[in-house]
């Protein structure tokens, strides 16, 4: 049985905005009043120190996440390194922390609504309850657009905050007494504001879905810490320098009140809208992460998998989402103060990160065979083990400074984790931890592979699988009989709200079908005498997954099944094959198979030999198909010329010259083939009539744009739709230009 893989769909920008979407939320809009009341202008120092504590945690998390990119983030790393006892503590702590944080965000949402609708604490709570219920429903039903919308919201919020700071620094009058309550209050305030820094943990919970994690994961984590730290300090500077401390501390909507002083009513309304969007975005991200932590705990038998069952219709972990939403509603209903909600969430994550720092030391010492981090804390200047040691001490230092009530509630959550372990998980959980290995580490060996000519073949339909693999084998054998290799790929597609591993856990029917297809692929490869590897992948988007496989395998060719036509919806929204054809750096072939046709009865193959750059690629592919029939098939190169009255080369001679050029460029000039030149006024109709006489047609992919194809169609698609034979639409290899974003990221990580 194939080991399941999870597709990597998130790049640097996506991972960065996931973290920033949680951190640029209620914290920056609500905490200025709470922090100012606790520590005055010196609360800026609290934010800076909170950022330092988070940066240390981000470095340890980055190493662990690139070494063990699994759903569950810190929970998984602690459970793997320290065992199920500590895993139970961290799992319950993370789940509780995310729920307390979500309740905090939702109350912040309700408070900012008071700008438009004057209401007391009860009204704020009702608004928070309604929005919490809506978000729970959105995640229950699995609305795909929430991820893209969150990216837009985050970018817009950063722009708003930059404008707020840019105008605000010009209005700063005086900060008054900088540290009115002493340095003890500054340290204690770190625990209050730390909830704003848990966003990078959301990145870690999605580690198994991040593309190129050695670069994108640590970079996105560090950026997701540094960016809000700077913004928080600047917002606090503007806020404490614009309003006096008493006015700021008593405000429910502090940033809007400051904006009122700086930019008037327009500025205040803009910040209120920003706050509403930010709090909703933050709560949504936290609910998603909570469901993933639930699943990771269920996978390790610390929780019952009953909680993680995937909905038959919506493909979401509906029970985990309902449980998370219900507890958020309960926290809001019982009237826990907004500051206390923030502090308890901070407490839970500070406990988690203290254990994360221990985990990275254990994993580095134990060095298990399956732990190979792409990013490591450098040994230079003793950064390792200095970073995790300082990080652990910093977390404990902040924890002991927090209010007794918060410590009591936080230790209560830890106690739940301990009691749950002894009452439920100890006899079911299988993770022993690696503390023993860390004490007495043993060396491990790693394996390496070698490169060869590879053809990637996505398989999804048992009826067409054999012929697709036959055609792929024909291409592979044409290059190197000894080293050629096929990679058969099958993808199970799941929505964003469901953890990839979670869908795999509860979709046995789809998994069994996937395994059947890949088992059949191996049998077919044995018959064809060609090397084959199979990859079973669970991902968000089939097209993106196949592109990732092409890149990872350094493939030379991808061959896909094709139905030969598009529905109206696919013309407008595109299909799974569109991104592959548009972006694959290797050669690509789309094949619409003729009903009941096999490679053994291919007799007549025709190639459209035009003047376009893809005609030689199509001719070469046709030559490969002919070779695979042991020369039994007849190959024809077809060129259609338009009648012309001008005094120029005879159309037939011109067509023959084009065919010769195509054959030479394709490397089949010495192959036995027929030339067919037809002169006609209506080229497209003529081509459609002629190719109908052949059982296999090879044509270069269109160069028309998406809009043109949607409005007017394209010749290859028209052939695919109307021809009764097998149609292969071929595109040559191409290199996609590097984007500005990728260029900047590559430069930063050199």
CA-CA-CA-CA torsion sign (175, 179, 185, 188): positive
SS3 of 591, please? Answer: strand
pLDDT of residue 569: 47
Q: What is this structure's pTM?
A: 0.67
CA distance 692 to 426: 68
The yes-or-no verdict on residue 42 having pLDDT over 60 is yes
pLDDT of residue 9: 63
End-to-end CA distance of the chain: 39
Q: Which residues contact 512 (CB under 8 A, 6 or more apart)?
A: none
Residue 165, burial from CB neighbour count under 10 angstroms (0-12, 13-18, 19+)? middle
pLDDT of residue 152: 76
User: If you average pLDDT over residues 369-377, what whole number do you get?
Assistant: 81
What beta strand segments (E) does 333-410 contain? none
- Which tokens sit at 87? 């895993």
Tell which phi-psi region holds residue 21, choosing left (phi > 0), alpha (psi between -120 and 50) or beta. alpha
Which of the residue ranges 223-237, 453-467, 470-484 has the most confident prediction, judged by mean pLDDT?
A: 223-237
In this prediction, residue 496 has a pLDDT band, given cuts at 50, 70 and 90, of low
What beta strand segments (E) does 459-612 contain? 485-493, 531-539, 557-561, 587-592, 604-608
The yes-or-no verdict on residue 153 having pLDDT over 80 is no
**Residues 202 and 289: beta-carbon distance below 8 Å:** yes
The distance of Cα 675 from the centroid of its chain, to the nearest Å, equals: 50
CA-CA-CA-CA torsion sign (343, 346, 348, 351): negative
CA distance 264 to 261: 6
The yes-or-no verdict on residue 716 having pLDDT over 50 is yes
pLDDT of residue 638: 92
**Residues 702 and 686: beta-carbon distance below 8 Å:** no
Q: pLDDT digit string (tens) for 66-98?
A: 887 666 678 888 988 888 899 999 999 999 999
The yes-or-no verdict on residue 712 having pLDDT over 50 is no
By residue count, the chain amounts to 750
CA distance 219 to 210: 12
pLDDT of residue 106: 93
Which has more pLDDT, 256 or 739? 256
| 102-136 residues labelled b (16+ CB within 10 A) or e (exposed) | bbbbbbbbbbbbbbeeeeeeeebbebbbebbeebb
Mean pLDDT of the chain: 81
Which has more pLDDT, 310 or 52? 52
pLDDT of residue 566: 60
In this prediction, residue 710 has a pLDDT band, given cuts at 50, 70 and 90, of very low
User: If you average pLDDT over residues 207-223, what whole number do you get?
Assistant: 80
DSSP code, position 2: P
Q: pLDDT digit string (tens) for 624-646?
A: 888 877 767 889 999 998 876 55
Containing 679, the helix (H) or strand (E) segment is strand 673-679
The yes-or-no verdict on residue 127 having pLDDT over 50 is yes
For the ranges 71-80, 207-216, 329-338, 620-629, which has the lowest average pLDDT? 207-216
User: If you average pLDDT over residues 565-586, what whole number do you get?
Assistant: 65
In this prediction, residue 311 has a pLDDT band, given cuts at 50, 70 and 90, of confident
In this prediction, residue 575 has a pLDDT band, given cuts at 50, 70 and 90, of low
The yes-or-no verdict on residue 747 having pLDDT over 60 is no
- Enter the CATH code of domain 16-437: 1.20.1740.10
pLDDT of residue 97: 92
CA-wise closest residue to 672 among 618, 726, 636: 636
CA-wise closest residue to 480 among 551, 534, 557, 552: 557
For the ranges 425-439, 512-526, 537-551, 637-651, which has the lowest average pLDDT? 425-439
- Which tokens sit at 347? 């407490």
> Helices (DSSP H) in 43-182: which residue ranges?
43-67, 74-82, 84-113, 121-141, 145-168
In this prediction, residue 331 has a pLDDT band, given cuts at 50, 70 and 90, of very high
Q: How many CB atoms sit inside 10 A of residue 543's CB? A: 23
CA distance 309 to 505: 8
> Helices (DSSP H) in 421-541: which residue ranges?
435-439, 462-477, 500-506, 508-528
pLDDT of residue 550: 87
SS3 of 448, please? Answer: coil
Which CATH number, 3.40.50.620, 3.10.50.40, 3.10.20.90, 3.40.50.1370, labels domain 451-561? Answer: 3.40.50.620
pLDDT of residue 6: 55
pLDDT of residue 17: 74
For the ranges 26-30, 201-205, 615-619, which has the lowest average pLDDT? 201-205
The yes-or-no verdict on residue 741 having pLDDT over 70 is no
CA distance 346 to 352: 10
Q: Which residues face 493 on adjacent strands?
A: 539
CA-wise closest residue to 31 among 194, 266, 163: 194
Q: How many CB atoms sit inside 10 A of residue 262's CB? A: 21
CA distance 604 to 249: 83
Percent residues over pLDDT 70 in the chain: 83
Which has more pLDDT, 438 or 383? 383
The yes-or-no verdict on residue 292 having pLDDT over 70 is yes
Give the residue carrying structure tokens 């001719």: 619
CA distance 103 to 409: 15
**Rg, the chain, Cα only:** 31
pLDDT of residue 391: 96
pLDDT of residue 743: 40
pLDDT of residue 149: 64
**Residues 620 and 591: beta-carbon distance below 8 Å:** no
The yes-or-no verdict on residue 190 having pLDDT over 60 is yes
CA distance 468 to 645: 45
- Which tokens sit at 745? 């990221």
In the chain, CATH 1.20.1740.10 covers: 16-437
The yes-or-no verdict on residue 3 having pLDDT over 60 is no
CA-wise closest residue to 236 among 33, 42, 40, 44: 44
In the chain, CATH 3.40.50.620 covers: 451-561, 597-750
The yes-or-no verdict on residue 348 having pLDDT over 90 is yes
- Enter the CATH code of domain 597-750: 3.40.50.620
> Helices (DSSP H) in 142-253: which residue ranges?
145-168, 183-193, 199-205, 213-242, 245-249
User: If you average pLDDT over residues 43-53, what whole number do you get?
Assistant: 94
pLDDT of residue 201: 74
Q: Which residues contact 561 (CB under 8 A, 6 or more apart)?
A: 458, 459, 460, 461, 464, 468, 590, 591, 592, 593
CA distance 86 to 68: 17
Q: Which residues contact 511 (CB under 8 A, 6 or more apart)?
A: 4, 492, 504, 536
The yes-or-no verdict on residue 373 having pLDDT over 50 is yes
Give Cα separations from 434 to 333, 367, 437, 715 (angstroms). Answer: 42, 9, 5, 61
Which of the residue ranges 28-32, 395-399, 556-560 has the most confident prediction, judged by mean pLDDT?
A: 395-399
pLDDT of residue 399: 95
For the ranges 68-82, 195-209, 601-615, which has the lowest average pLDDT? 195-209
Q: How many CB atoms sit inside 10 A of residue 593's CB? A: 23
CA distance 55 to 67: 19
pLDDT of residue 72: 65
């Amino acid at each position: 049985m194939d080991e399941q893989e999870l597709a990597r769909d998130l790049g640097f920008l996506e991972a960065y905005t996931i973290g920033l979407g949680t951190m640029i939320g209620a914290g920056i809009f609500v905490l200025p009043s709470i922090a100012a009341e606790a520590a005055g202008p010196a609360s800026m120092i609290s934010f800076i120190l909170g950022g330092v504590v988070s940066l240390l945690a981000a470095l340890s998390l980055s190493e662990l996440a690139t070494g063990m990119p699994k759903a569950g983030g810190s929970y998984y790393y602690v459970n793997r390194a320290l065992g199920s006892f500590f895993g139970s503590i961290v799992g319950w702590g993370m789940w509780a922390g995310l729920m307390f944080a979500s309740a905090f965000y939702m109350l912040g949402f309700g408070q900012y609504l008071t700008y438009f609708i004057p209401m007391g604490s009860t009204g704020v709570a009702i608004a928070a309850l309604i929005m919490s219920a809506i978000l729970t429903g959105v995640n229950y039903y699995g609305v795909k657009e929430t991820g893209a919308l969150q990216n837009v919201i985050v970018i817009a919020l950063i722009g708003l905050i930059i404008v707020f700071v840019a105008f605000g620094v010009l209005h700063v009058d005086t900060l008054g007494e900088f540290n009115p309550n002493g340095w003890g209050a500054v340290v204690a305030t770190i625990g209050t504001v730390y909830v704003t820094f848990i966003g990078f943990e959301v990145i870690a919970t999605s580690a198994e879905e991040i593309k190129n994690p050695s670069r994108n994961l640590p970079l996105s984590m560090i950026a997701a810490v540094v960016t809000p730290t700077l913004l928080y300090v600047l917002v606090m500077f503007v806020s404490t320098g614009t309003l006096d401390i008493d006015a700021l501390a008593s405000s429910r909507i502090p940033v809007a009140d400051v904006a009122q002083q700086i930019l008037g009513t327009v500025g205040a309304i803009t910040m209120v809208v920003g706050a509403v969007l930010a709090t909703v975005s933050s709560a949504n991200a936290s609910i998603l992460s909570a469901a993933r932590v639930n699943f990771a705990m269920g996978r390790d038998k610390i929780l019952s998998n009953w909680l993680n069952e995937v909905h038959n219709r919506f493909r979401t972990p509906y029970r985990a989402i309902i449980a998370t939403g219900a507890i958020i509603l309960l926290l809001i209903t019982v009237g826990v103060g907004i500051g206390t909600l923030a502090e308890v969430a901070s407490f839970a994550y500070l406990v988690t990160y203290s254990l994360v720092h221990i985990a990275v030391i254990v994993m580095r010492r134990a060095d298990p065979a399956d732990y190979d981090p792409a990013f490591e804390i450098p040994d230079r200047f003793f950064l390792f083990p200095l970073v995790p040691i300082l990080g652990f001490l910093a977390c404990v230092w902040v924890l002991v400074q927090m209010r007794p009530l918060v410590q009591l509630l936080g230790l209560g959550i830890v106690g739940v984790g301990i009691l749950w372990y002894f009452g439920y998980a100890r006899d079911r959980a299988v993770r022993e931890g690696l503390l023993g290995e860390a004490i007495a580490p043993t060396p491990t060996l790693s394996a390496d592979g070698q490169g060869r000519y590879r053809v990637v073949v996505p398989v999804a339909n048992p009826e067409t699988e054999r012929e697709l693999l036959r055609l792929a084998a024909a291409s592979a054998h044409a290059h190197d009989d000894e080293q050629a290799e096929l990679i058969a790929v099958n993808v199970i597609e799941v929505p964003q709200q469901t953890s990839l591993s979670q869908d795999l856990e509860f979709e046995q029917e789809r998994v069994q079908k996937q395994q059947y297809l890949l088992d059949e692929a191996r049998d077919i490869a044995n018959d064809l005498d060609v090397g084959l590897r199979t990859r079973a992948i669970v991902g968000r988007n089939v097209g993106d997954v196949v592109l990732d496989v092409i890149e990872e395998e350094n493939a030379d060719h991808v061959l896909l099944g094709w139905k030969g036509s598009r529905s109206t919806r696919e013309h407008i929204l595109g299909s799974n094959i569109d991104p592959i054809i548009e972006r694959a750096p290797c050669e690509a072939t789309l094949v619409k198979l003729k009903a009941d046709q096999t490679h053994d009865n291919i007799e007549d193959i025709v190639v459209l030999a035009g003047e376009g750059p893809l005609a030689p690629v199509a001719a070469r592919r046709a030559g490969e198909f002919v070779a695979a029939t042991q020369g039994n098939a007849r190959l024809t190169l077809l060129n259609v010329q338009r009648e012309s009255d001008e005094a120029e080369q005879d159309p037939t001679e011109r067509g023959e010259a084009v065919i010769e050029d195509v054959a030479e460029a394709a490397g089949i000039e010495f192959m036995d083939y027929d030339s067919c030149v037809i002169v006609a006024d209506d080229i497209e109709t003529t081509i459609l009539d002629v190719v109908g006489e052949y059982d296999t047609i090879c044509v270069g992919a269109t160069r028309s744009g998406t809009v043109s194809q949607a409005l007017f169609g394209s010749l290859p698609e028209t052939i695919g739709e109307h021809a009764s034979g097998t149609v292969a639409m071929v595109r040559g290899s191409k290199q996609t230009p590097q984007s500005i974003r990728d260029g900047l990221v590559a430069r930063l990580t050199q």
